Chains A and B, each alone.
Chain A
């Protein structure tokens, strides 16, 4: 059942004090996440040549697969923007559709990553095989865990949308989920560069 169209303020996510608190709090949360990933990247860079007896990045990585995953994830960033544009027009249907597309793309990315990890472990690239292996799975895995978290969050929000409708209470949640998704995508750009490109070329 489609909820009745009500008049929403122009920026519903920032219309209430609670909403504004959430938005600022979430930006700060992301600030902390930057340090988290920064530390992981620093660790990875320090250990990226420590292959021990395990396989090297050059032997492992297939850039075609990674390029596909990157394309999927960056596209999903755009679709989540479309969802928020829809929300600002108070268009619940557009919000739901584009959010669902974003979720779908997120799941595709996860599928590729699971395939990638199982493929690597079969080639002898494990957490315990070398410091490079430990650092690789910790960094890329932490990013993957963030993707899973984002997908579950968006699924919950979209599933509840018919019941809750779009209000000044729910709008901040969609806005933040979209913000989070952009952040996760942004981190992937660095993963792509530092882990895969530098591992293959550098």
Chain B
């Protein structure tokens, strides 16, 4: 569900990106200018970060984390469903702005005040505020759910230091979600009060302070980029280790690097604000903290290389995406250090150099990682293998298209092309770079179409997949593909890092179990989460259109449902022993 909805929003955000690039293909074009262009780039950024990247990550966390820790389900299935519906309807609220005559939000994905205050923007920003608020609550609940799942529901013997890297990054990511999202929740509340109830938080005439928005936004926003990239690190670690037929080099160093990156992610938000005028002391401290992040990240890069060194590296689509990830993410990281030099940042500020930097980290890092993870876990999730031939086309067109698009943007930025403007003048030396960049964007579009074709073809094929198609090392490969609804018929017993590999090396042929086969308790399905999310969506529209009656009804409806949930207990149901598939031999 997360994957489907996230994939849909990804296509939407991608389309917006393509339109942006078409407008910037030649100088002086006037296809999407002024407000339309602002709406496109605002929606591209917002959609990609909140409604494409996050849910696709959550889809993988949902599908794989319980399998990797030997759990039957996440800790709170009810909250899981609630989170999904809140995220999805939040996306619907945001995108409804295109169609309701109001026009989409246009204040940039960062929605800086005062640009986003009523004085300088129209109704679109209301959709931004309430759409993100609803979706943010959903994401936040999801974070708590994964944390509890990983803390409390690990199989016997699976100590923290034996957790697979993907689960470790899921853990740190969820912790970041937990502590980062309340900051943007508050920020959106402040903006909402300013826009709807005449609040004066960002009204400088009355002594309000617009820099509060930037602080709160980046206290959320900087950890957010680590929320996006850490799971990709985890995927790459698992994939490289599997396809090198070696345990991950420096597993414990990787764990500490992950935790350290998570921690430092909270210490550096003000590096987005060097030019705000915080003074040299604050700028120096934040510059220093920012550059420190390169240390644990460097540890990770070397550990991946050392894992492959001397391993029996198998090249297929999944490992190609992971191997391609290393150089592209490295470039993104290096330009990050350049931007972290506070005095130099005054030069790079708001140019295409910044655009190139963060697309190299988020696309060259996270998207590559996610593709790798999808090719790797597709058989476990859907019981079929994605086509390898199309997969390689998918990879190479994307890899080339991506570098064509974003590599020239470094130079465009250094030559002074500012971000967020809808055109440029001829004979300023910017034509070539922009033209190549747009061609690259078409390359990536082609690649995504190949991927969609691959899904369709795979879906139609009749093949069946064994439990362990990749000669895997971790627990998810001990159960049938696709995973049954109860995941594990018997809770596995873990006896070391890479639990399945330990058993393979000892020639046991299968994992050992911590419990006898018994009937399995399952939670009942419930319609309440969906209704709750609907209630909040109604309330959001009520606020957007200033109809307090609708807003109040929606909120009360949701609170009544919460009360029903809180007093009613879910007895669940049981799957009897004779209906359970026996364990798989591998």
Q: Which A positions have Cβ atoms within 8 angstroms of B?
A: 17, 20-21, 24-25, 28-29, 31-33, 35-36, 39-40, 42-43, 46-47, 50-52, 127-131, 133-135, 138, 152-153, 156-157, 160, 164, 169, 173
Contacts and interface: CB of A to CB of B under 8 A. Distances in A.
B208 A36 contact: no
B198 A128 contact: yes
Q: Is the interface of B mostly helix, strand, loop or mixed?
A: helix
B280 to A, nearest CB: 21
A169 to B, nearest CB: 5
A78 to B, nearest CB: 24
Nearest to A52: B206
B567 A160 contact: yes
A25 B146 CA distance: 10
Contact of A131 (B178, B180, B186, B201): B201
Contact of B181 (A32, A52, A164): A32
B229 to A, nearest CB: 21
Contacts of B563: 152, 156
A139 to B, nearest CB: 10
B235 to A, nearest CB: 24
A173 B566 contact: yes
B199 A127 contact: yes
A43 B182 contact: no
A21 B186 contact: no
Given A32-B178, A50-B206, A50-B209, A25 B569 contact: no
B521 to A, nearest CB: 10
Contact of B151 (A24, A32, A131, A160): A24
A130 B212 CA distance: 16
Nearest to A163: B567
B239 to A, nearest CB: 29
Contacts of B566: 153, 156-157, 173
11 contacts: A24-B152, A28-B148, A35-B183, A39-B219, A50-B207, A52-B200, A127-B198, A131-B201, A131-B208, A134-B194, A134-B199
A47 B201 CA distance: 8
A127 B207 contact: no
Contacts of B152: 17, 20-21, 24
A32 B75 CA distance: 18
Contacts of A51: 207
A133 B201 CA distance: 9
Nearest to B202: A131
A127 B216 CA distance: 20
A131 B200 contact: yes
A28 B178 contact: yes
Contacts of B198: 127-128
Nearest to A142: B189
Which of B140, B185, B206, B208 is packed against the most chain A CB atoms within 10 Å?
B206
Given A43-B190, A50-B209, A131-B208, 5 more contacts: A24-B148, A33-B182, A50-B200, A52-B207, A157-B566
Given A127-B193, A138-B189, A25 B144 contact: yes
A33 B216 CA distance: 15
B120 interface: no
A35 B552 CA distance: 27
Contacts of B147: 24-25, 28
A169 B570 CA distance: 10
B183 A39 contact: yes
B186 A25 contact: no
B201 A135 contact: yes
Interface string B171-189: 0000000111111011101
Contacts of A17: 152-153
A156 B562 CA distance: 11
Which of A17, A24, A29, A32 is packed against the most chain B CB atoms within 10 Å?
A32
A36 B75 contact: no
Nearest to A51: B207
A107 B260 CA distance: 45
